């Protein structure tokens, strides 16, 4: 393939990646080193109590944002270096908390609370998604031709549903007098409140993520099953291998590249968990790194947003994703080199 043909195929993708990934990422990185804040000025404000003729007026000084000629707030931008990262991590406060009360004390600091949940959520749901996806793939593969179409449709249904809508649906099933909550209360013979504790909310959020993402893994693995070497499977059957042995020594090794692919997609997506926090209204108990970034961007009572801290939080999240992907990328690179 000559260079012009290669450029014609690859060029549009490279341009889109530069415009929609590289430039925004560079902008966020830059914003994390700068802090933009309004300029305040001290003015005298007179307030009078109601009443006539004994009206009492008091003059007091207040700090208010300075406005330009068009009525817009005047802002100033200054270079703060790594201060925004320090404000997000709160390392000194975290260290003092650990020395005093141990690791559990980190849950009082937003970033470390979000990091703990994000890592737990990501690493626990990953093997469940892979196992669930493999189970779905085997179910579809073993289904008869007459029902294979409906089985594929029903399997994909959770993945088709919009994430926030799906999270709200699971939320309603278990919240208050939801159908599943009522069934659990009937079975146990006592009242149950699954949204009164953080750990039960986390379990429901993980349940939803596995239910939502496993069908995607299932379809990917099902496609891989169509290329399994039938001669190897027949040889294993002749040698007396059980279903589990054929799965362990023939099917799974063949699906390893797809397992790595699904793992990478899941790690990148689940580490940015956000829909579950919104759908389950878990902000009072459980927050994620992505939600923390969003929270920094919510205007306060004065209308100010912590753009610098939000940018620092976003960059820290990106670094975390990169660290998680290193083992998988290294394995992919080694397999690539071994293939040559």
Q: What is the pLDDT of residues 40-96, one digit of tens each?
A: 778 877 777 776 667 777 788 777 777 777 777 777 888 888 999 999 999 888 888
Q: What is the mean pLDDT of residues 129-144?
A: 92
Whether pLDDT at 130 is above 90: yes
pLDDT tier at 235, thresholds 50, 70, 90: confident
Per-residue confidence (pLDDT) for residue 302, from 0 to 100: 65
The answer on pLDDT for 340 being more than 60 is no
Q: Is the pLDDT of residue 283 over 80?
A: yes
102 vs 280, more confident? 280
Of 44, 78, 112, which marks where a domain is finished?
A: 78
Residue 264: both structure tokens together: 């990478």
- Assess contact for 80 and 33: CB atoms under 8 A: yes
Which residues, in sequence order, are CB contacts of 279 under 8 Å at separation 6+?
163, 164, 166, 167, 168, 170, 171, 208
The closest of 90, 99, 134 to 258, measured between CA atoms, is 134
Domain boundary among 14, 44, 78: 78
339 pLDDT band (50/70/90 cuts)?
low
- Measured at the alpha carbon of residue 23, what is the angle toward residues 314 and 164, in degrees to the nearest 5? 45
CA-to-CA dists, residue 148 to 54, 175, 211, 225, 226, angstroms:
87, 35, 20, 15, 14
In a domain, 26, yes or no: no
- Of the pLDDT bands very low, low, confident and very high (cuts 50, 70, 90), residue 210 is very high
Confidence of residue 106 (pLDDT cuts 50, 70, 90): confident
Whether residue 185 sits in one domain with residue 51: no
Tokens of 173: 């099933």
152 and 234 share a domain? Answer: yes
Q: Are 270 and 288 in contact (CB under 8 A)?
A: no
Nearest Cα residue to 275 out of 159, 168, 200, 196: 168
| Cβ atoms of 61 and 44 closer than 8 Å | yes
Which CATH number goes with the domain that contains 285? 1.10.3720.10
Element (H, E) at 170: helix 163-174
The answer as to whether 171 is a domain residue is: yes
Q: Is the pLDDT of residue 262 over 60?
A: yes
Range in 64-68, 108-112, 172-176, 251-255 with the lowest mean pLDDT:
64-68
How is residue 95 written in tokens?
């260290």
Residue 85 lies in a domain: no
Range of the domain at 58: 35-78
- How big is the CA angle at 128 (ends 150 and 141), to the nearest 5 degrees? 30
Examine the fold and report which residue of 46, 78, 110 is the final residue of a domain before the chain moves on: 78
Looking at the fold, whether 53 and 118 belong to one and the same domain comes out as no
Domain annotation covers residue 123: yes
Distance from C-alpha of 258 to C-alpha of 175, rounded to nearest angstrom: 37
Highest mean pLDDT among 2-6, 34-38, 102-106, 285-289: 285-289
Could you tell me if residue 230 is inside a domain?
yes
Residues 71 and 109 in one domain: no
Q: How confident is the model at residue 267 (pLDDT cuts 50, 70, 90)?
A: very high
Is residue 92, in this structure, part of any structural domain at all?
Answer: no
Assess contact for 64 and 100: CB atoms under 8 A.
Answer: no
What pLDDT score was predicted for residue 51? 66
Indicate whether 52 and 115 sit together in one domain. Answer: no
Query: Quick one: pLDDT at residue 70?
Result: 78
Three-state secondary structure call for residue 226: coil
Q: Does 123 share its domain with 72?
A: no
* pLDDT score, position 1: 62
71 plus 219 within the same structural domain: no
Total domain count, the chain: 2
Q: Which residue has the higher pLDDT, 190 or 55?
A: 190
Choice between 176 and 307, residue whose per-residue pLDDT is larger: 307
Query: What's the chain's Rg over C-alpha atoms?
Result: 27
Which SS3 state, helix, strand or coil, does residue 267 take? helix
Per-residue pLDDT, 177: 76
Least confident of 29-33, 114-118, 130-134, 194-198: 194-198
Measuring CA to CA, which residue among 111, 107, 70 is closest to residue 91? 111
73, 113: one domain: no
pLDDT at 115: 93
Whether residue 147 is contained in a domain is answered as yes
Residue 255 shares a structural domain with residue 141:
yes
Percent of the chain with pLDDT over 70: 97
- Same-domain status, 59 and 163: no
Residue 1, in any domain of the structure: no
Nearest-CA neighbor of 90 among 71, 73, 105, 74? 105
Same-domain status, 203 and 152: yes
The answer on 226 and 193 residing in a single domain is yes
């Amino acid at each position: 393939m000559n260079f012009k043909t290669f450029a014609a195929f690859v060029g549009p993708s490279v341009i889109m990646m530069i415009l929609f990934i590289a430039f925004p990422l560079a902008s966020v990185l830059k914003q994390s080193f700068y802090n933009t804040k309004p300029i305040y000025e001290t003015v005298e404000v007179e307030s009078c109590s109601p009443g006539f003729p004994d009206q009492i007026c008091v003059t007091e000084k207040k700090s208010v944002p300075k406005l330009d000629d068009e009525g817009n707030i005047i802002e100033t931008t200054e270079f703060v270096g790594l201060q925004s990262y320090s404000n997000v991590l709160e390392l000194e406060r975290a260290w003092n908390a650990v020395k005093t009360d141990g690791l559990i004390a980190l849950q009082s600091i937003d970033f470390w609370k979000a990091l703990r949940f994000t890592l737990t959520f990501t690493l626990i749901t990953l093997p469940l998604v892979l196992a669930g996806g493999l189970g779905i793939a085997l179910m579809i593969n073993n289904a008869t031709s007459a029902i294979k179409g409906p089985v594929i449709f029903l399997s994909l249904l959770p993945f088709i549903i919009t994430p926030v809508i799906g999270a709200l649906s699971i939320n309603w099933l278990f919240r208050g007098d939801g159908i599943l909550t009522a069934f659990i209360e009937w079975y146990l013979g006592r009242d149950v409140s699954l949204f009164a504790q953080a750990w039960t909310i986390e379990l429901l959020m993980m349940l939803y993520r596995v239910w939502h993402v496993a069908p995607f893994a299932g379809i990917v693995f099902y496609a891989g099953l169509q290329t399994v070497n039938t001669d190897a499977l027949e040889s294993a059957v002749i040698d007396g291998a059980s279903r589990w042995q054929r799965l362990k020594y023939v099917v799974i090794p063949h699906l390893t590249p797809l397992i790595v692919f699904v793992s990478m997609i899941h790690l990148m997506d689940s580490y940015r968990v956000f829909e579950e926090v919104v759908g389950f209204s878990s902000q009072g108990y459980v927050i994620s790194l992505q939600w923390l970034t969003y929270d920094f961007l919510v205007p306060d009572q004065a209308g100010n947003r912590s753009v610098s801290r939000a940018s620092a939080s976003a960059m820290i999240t990106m670094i975390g994703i990169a660290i998680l992907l290193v083992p998988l990328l290294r394995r992919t690179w080694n397999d690539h080199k071994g293939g040559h």
